[in-house]
Amino acid sequence: MLARWMLAGIHTDNLIILAKGGSATVRDFVAPYQGSVKEPTYQIRGYVRNTMPSLVIECGDSESLLQDDKNLWLHGSQGVRVVILVKYFRENARNQVKVLMEIWKTGQPVESISLFPDPTIPNPPKDLAPPGPLPAAGGPHIVMDDLYSGQCPPDVVGTTQLPLDIHSLRCFIHDWATRAGVALIP
């Protein structure tokens, strides 16, 4: 996602993306979550000196504690503006999986998107095509202000929209499912 924004010429010089492992563990939660320790699946931080990410992605099955994770990030932190939950649901005995994404933004209603099955493709191909250009504005997006927790550098316009590349996310999930031997619901 960050690489695609960079290729589109969107200012990302002050952003850091971290995956699980390494220095991705977060400890500085506020009441009533003080003492909590969490390592999100992915996180983006606006500045090196920030201890709290601005955007968090959590992935898991529908029976996991993803809603608790979302509450911890949005209500127990100072700085997290966006939490993206990627949930998978076991649908049937043939090991077919449904995947749903929820985008939670501070002070806004949740936005839910079905990743598999893809409602926009009536007869999806077996293999997904590589991603094309970034989607046009108007689809799922965040703004620069979200990435910088409301403290954009002077040369960054906070209202600049950053489209969320749903197609690339579908490709990533498709690759994961293939390696894991899991069939996605077409």
pTM score of the predicted model: 0.80
Where do the DSSP E strands lie in 8-157? 16-19, 42-45, 55-61, 82-90, 96-105, 111-116, 141-143
CA dihedral 54, 130, 8, 60 (to 10 degrees): 0
Q: What residue numbers bound the domain in which 141 lies? A: 2-184
pLDDT tens-digit map of 125-183: 555 554 454 445 557 888 888 888 888 888 888 898 888 878 777 887 787 778 777 77
CATH number reported for the structural domain that contains residue 163 in this entry: 3.90.1570
φ/ψ of residue 146, rounded to 5:
-65, -40
Total domains in the fold of the chain: 1
Let me know: does 159 contact 144? Beta carbons within 8 Å: yes
Q: What is the mean pLDDT of residues 98-121?
A: 85
pLDDT at 134: 47
pLDDT tens-digit map of 19-66: 554 457 888 899 999 999 998 888 887 665 566 888 888 888 766 689
Confidence of residue 110 (pLDDT cuts 50, 70, 90): very high
Q: What is the mean pLDDT of residues 77-88?
A: 89
